[in-house]
């Protein structure tokens, strides 16, 4: 086949691929924007709030939340992938944000400071936790007493949830059900406040680190 003939075949394919990718990227951006609004409302984020995003990906959600908490707030943007850490740095710099701290985490440890956050959130990340018990303990440690946790995630095909956490990101089992998520959060000591289902098998679960018990009233007889 001549080079001219190859070009005639490749060019229409490339154009078709570009047209297909562009709407998908725009749709994904719109979904992230919508999820940012859900998080801001559910976590009652205000100027001055200190929050962390786990598994921040390429940083779009970090940027939106950083703008919501303002210059007096702080966002810890957490990732374990070095390439994505660098990408987040570029996105944050491009947005001119000074209130974002990028944290390189580990598979079972957020690497966040103890009781540093009013809230922690993640989007389509929880089902990747191979050891959810260890990770939930690390999240709990990073939250202030009364601090909030928001988990946006999606469910697997009906009846196909894997009983093994390390298999939840495999084809055919991809995702986690709200019931399993709630059970694991409660086992870690969280108070589960609500779960909202939306879209195609998506859900938003809100939990809280409990406040310490109030001291008993002093014995009046003393």
Residue labelled with tokens 């990718």: 21
Distance CA 24, CA 141 (A): 37
Phi, psi of 152 (to 5 degrees): -95, 125
Residue labelled with tokens 């986690």: 176
Instruction: Return the percentage of the chain with pLDDT > 70, whole number.
Output: 85
Task: Output the six-digit token pair for 4.
Answer: 């001219």
C-alpha dist (Å) from residue 95 to 83, 84, 88, 196:
19, 16, 11, 31
> What's residue 216's pLDDT?
67
Provide mean pLDDT across the span 156-181: 95
Class for the domain spanning 28-208: alpha beta
Provide mean pLDDT across the span 189-198: 97
Distance CA 70, CA 38 (A): 18
- Residues 67-126 have pLDDT tens digits of 999 999 999 999 999 999 999 999 999 999 999 999 999 999 999 999 999 999 999 999
Kind of pairing, strands 100-104 and 74-79? parallel
Residues 138/108, Cβ–Cβ less than 8 Å: yes
> Domain limits of the chain?
28-208
Provide mean pLDDT across the span 182-193: 98
> Does residue 194 sit in helix, strand or coil?
strand
Helix (H) or strand (E) holding 153: strand 143-154
- Residues 33-75 have pLDDT tens digits of 999 999 999 999 999 999 999 999 999 999 999 999 999 999 9
- Residues 136-166 have pLDDT tens digits of 999 999 999 999 999 999 999 999 999 999 9
The sign of the torsion formed by the CA atoms of 79, 83, 84, 86 equals positive
- Which residues have C-beta within 8 Å of that of residue 51, sequence separation ≥ 6? 43, 45, 65, 69, 73, 74, 75, 76, 117, 118, 119, 120, 121
Distance CA 74, CA 177 (A): 31
């Amino acid at each position: 086949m001549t080079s001219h003939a190859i070009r005639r075949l490749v060019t229409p394919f490339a154009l078709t691929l570009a047209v297909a990718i562009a709407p998908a990227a725009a749709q994904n951006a719109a979904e992230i924007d919508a999820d940012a609004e859900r998080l801001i409302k559910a976590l009652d984020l205000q100027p001055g709030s200190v929050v962390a995003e786990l598994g921040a990906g390429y940083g779009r959600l970090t940027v939106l939340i950083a703008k919501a908490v303002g210059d007096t707030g702080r966002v810890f943007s957490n990732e374990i992938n070095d390439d994505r850490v660098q990408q987040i740095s570029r996105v944050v710099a491009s947005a001119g944000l000074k209130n974002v701290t990028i944290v390189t985490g580990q598979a079972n440890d957020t690497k966040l400071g103890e009781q540093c956050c009013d809230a922690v959130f993640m989007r389509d990340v929880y089902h990747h936790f191979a050891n959810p018990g260890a990770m939930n303990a690390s999240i709990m440690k990073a939250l202030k007493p009364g601090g909030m946790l928001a988990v946006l995630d999606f469910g697997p095909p009906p009846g196909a949830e894997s009983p093994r956490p390390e298999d939840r990101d495999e084809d055919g089992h991809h995702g986690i059900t709200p019931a399993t998520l709630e059970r694991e959060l409660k086992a870690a000591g969280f108070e589960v406040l609500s779960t909202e289902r939306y879209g195609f098998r998506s859900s938003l679960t809100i939990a809280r680190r409990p406040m310490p018990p109030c001291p008993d009233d002093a014995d009046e007889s003393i």
